[in-house]
Structure 1
Amino acid sequence: MVDQDHVSVTLTVAEPAAKVFAVLADPRTHAAIDGTGWVQEPVDRALLTDVGQVFRMAMYHPDHPDGDYQVANKVQVLAPPRAIGWLTGEEKDDGHLEFGGWFWRYDLAPLGPSETAVTLTYDWSAVPRSIREYLQFPPFGPEHLTNSLHHLAELAATR
């Protein structure tokens, strides 16, 4: 589903919610989950365990002024094994974190002991007009979220 300020996709994964959540809470898996090729590798490799925790990821995008860059993500939702989500932004040279108003959220609904409905939402409702003037939202189609959920299902099955 795509609307003016968010896109979300749901996929049934043939794994328990706790197993799926464990994959999402490990930044070392995020490059393999992402279907765009933008997410490269974690800079911070610690498991996501607390709201407010910051984890950085190396990124690549051909349209980014530097090509290679880094994002700082701040955990906003952490309710194992039901939900996990983070704001994405950047760390300035002085160490200050600045977020652009978009976030990623995964909601997991157990459908039984070995099946989970996973909903991935990308929300840009808090992005200010000044950023929307030079960045198009969403920067990818909904098929990216579907691909990501399929990658997540594959990773969960192999853990």
Structure 2
Amino acid sequence: MSTGTATEVMSVTRHVDAAPEAVFAVLADPGSHAAIDGTGWVREPLDEGAITGAGQVFGMGMFHRNHPDGDYRMHNRVEVFDPPRTLAWQPGQYGPDGEIGFGGWTWRYDLEPDGDGTRVTLTYDWSAVPAFLREHISFPPFDEEHLTRSLDNLARLT
């Protein structure tokens, strides 16, 4: 396992004993995201079906004790869909105008063949979070251990 943190980007890399296609299939299934998540914030998918392409939006039920409502929803726009190599999305929320507003952070999984398995790098990038949002949310909202737990959970699922 290797880790790395730049100023506004955090990443962790781990070997997973499964082919890239199998790992990507788990990541492309929002139904598996709660089991992968290392914080316990991710709950259930709000939409049925797999992630199938860039531009797609998939919703997730969430919970965080510090969120004003406790339970809330995130709607993630897929930014990169390149099976079985890369999957990335940008979380957002619908506003009162019915439009999705994005917070400026992204989740990205990069997969590379690695012997009999896959080298998986999970990256959390908050470099595009605007100043007004940083006044209300401390970034990153978790430590690097969250990413490590997420990759450990992914390895167990595949």
**Cα deviation per residue 1:64-93 (whole Å; 9 max; x = unaligned)?**
000000001000000000000000010123
Matched, 1:12 2:19: no
Partner of 1:132: 134
**Cα deviation per residue 1:104-124 (whole Å; 9 max; x = unaligned)?**
000001013x31000000000
**Aligned mate of 1:75, from 75, 78, 94:** 78
How much identity, in percent, do the aligned residues show?
56
Partner of 1:27: 30
Query: What is the alpha-carbon distance in structure 2 between the residues aligned to residue 121 and residue 101 of structure 1?
Result: 14
On the 8 A contact 1:26/1:45 being kept in 2, the answer is no
**Aligned mate of 2:45, from 42, 46, 53:** 42
* Letter matched to residue 84 of structure 1: L
Identify unmatched segments of 5+ residues in structure 2. Answer: none
SS at the partner of 1:101?
Answer: coil
SS at the partner of 2:13?
Answer: strand
Write the mapping of 1:86-101 to structure 2, written as runs, cut at 5 A. Answer: 86-101=89-104
Query: What is the alpha-carbon distance in structure 2 between the residues aligned to residue 45 and residue 125 of structure 1?
Result: 31
**Aligned mate of 2:148, from 136, 146, 149:** 146
> In terms of mean alpha carbon deviation, does 132-141 or 89-98 score higher?
89-98
Indicate the RMSD between aligned Cα atoms, in angstroms.
0.8
**Cα deviation per residue 1:27-85 (whole Å; 9 max; x = unaligned)?**
00000000111000000122001100000000000000000000010000000000000
Question: Cα offset for 1:3?
Answer: 2.0
Query: What is the alpha-carbon distance in structure 2 between the residues aligned to residue 9 and residue 43 of structure 1?
Result: 27
Identify unmatched segments of 5+ residues in structure 1. Answer: none
* Letter matched to residue 136 of structure 1: S
* Letter matched to residue 35 of structure 2: A
* Letter matched to residue 124 of structure 1: W
Query: What is the alpha-carbon distance in structure 2 between the residues aligned to residue 27 and residue 93 of structure 1?
Result: 25
Query: What is the alpha-carbon distance in structure 1 between the residues aligned to residue 123 and residue 71 of structure 2?
Result: 25
